[in-house]
Amino acid sequence: MKVRKLGNTGLLVSDLCLGTMNFGMAEWGIDERASLEVIDAYLDAGGNFLDTADVYSAGNSERICSKALKGRRDKIVLATKGHFPVVAKFGDPPDHANAAGSSRRHLTLALEASLRRLETDYIDLYQVHCWDEHTPIHETLATLDQLVKSGKVRYVGLSNFDAWQIVEARQLCIRFNWEPFITAQMQYSLANRDIERGVVPVCQRYGMGLLPWSPLGGGVLTGKYKGTGAAEATTRFGAIADVNNDWRKAFLNDRNLQIASTVKKLPIRCGRTHRLWHCSGSSADRWCRALSLVRRASRS
């Protein structure tokens, strides 16, 4: 696996980052054992970049990652996020008014909680998970700057910002000499290319690394969903029984299914396979074969 610089820094990361949103997710994810197998397979393939978040499976994803870090923390670039409330089920209300957001209070407490779950004394890349309409951005930026100065965070990033929000944040960092965001983690796939109009040019202008999330369109681009109706219970959207759920409709819709159908035809023309996640064997074996297929297809 190749390595590249993370944004405009000297930090080197593998060209494929392993996202851990489904680790320990009871509804549609994989259990701890399978999660650790996937991490081992990823590291054996040359990867060194893990991305998690406090909100993933109510903190369980971070706890699983902590076990994978044992004895090899220095070899792994670890990213996590803070903003959303850590609750039993994503979307549930926070325990109290200050248990969410990007305020100085919440981000500081959220980072400390992540450090405990991950059993580490520093985070390589700490990301603000979402823009906060209620907290002044200068409060968030000043807080992140102090977290870096404390040594608990090495670099800071953002996720799910609009282009103008990234520009405003960068200009404030320039004005006050605060630690700038070096990465933007955004939804990006053949099913959702919105960031090409604004976010991508802004990231290029400021030398920020772009970390796409959901590059397979929530799994729709794998071809495993046959329609917008019933889906296998073990899949992400099969676990959401309500076909009118906003999250499900955003991914599993006629437009995206048509894109997936078109994508399915392209590898066949190149003599490749599109069935990345339909391989036999253990979770680790499937991941390794999927990785190999993705890399071969990208060279075609």
Whether residue 17 is found in the same domain as residue 126: yes
Which of 275-281's residues contact partners 24+ apart within 8 Å by CB, and which partners? 275/222, 275/223, 276/216, 276/222, 277/219, 277/222, 277/224, 278/222, 278/224
126: annotated active-site residue: no
Q: What pLDDT sits at residue 298?
A: 41
Whether residue 283 is found in the same domain as residue 260: yes
Q: Which residues of the chain have pLDDT under 50?
A: 276-284, 286-287, 290-291, 293-300
Model confidence over 63-77: pLDDT tens digits? 999 999 999 999 999
User: Among the options 56, 126, 188, 206, which is catalytic?
Assistant: 56
Whether residue 210 is found in the same domain as residue 221: no
Distance CA 34, CA 62 (A): 15
Boundaries of domain holding 261: 216-300
Q: What pLDDT sits at residue 295?
A: 46
Q: What pLDDT sits at residue 285?
A: 53
Q: What pLDDT sits at residue 293?
A: 47
Q: Mark which of 163, 198, 214 sits at the end of a domain.
A: 214
Q: What pLDDT sits at residue 52?
A: 98
Q: What pLDDT sits at residue 292?
A: 52
Q: What pLDDT sits at residue 235?
A: 86
Whether residue 220 is found in the same domain as residue 206: no
Model confidence over 188-222: pLDDT tens digits? 999 999 999 999 999 999 999 999 999 999 999 98
Q: What pLDDT sits at residue 233?
A: 80
Q: Mark which of 157, 181, 214 sits at the end of a domain.
A: 214
Average pLDDT, the chain: 90
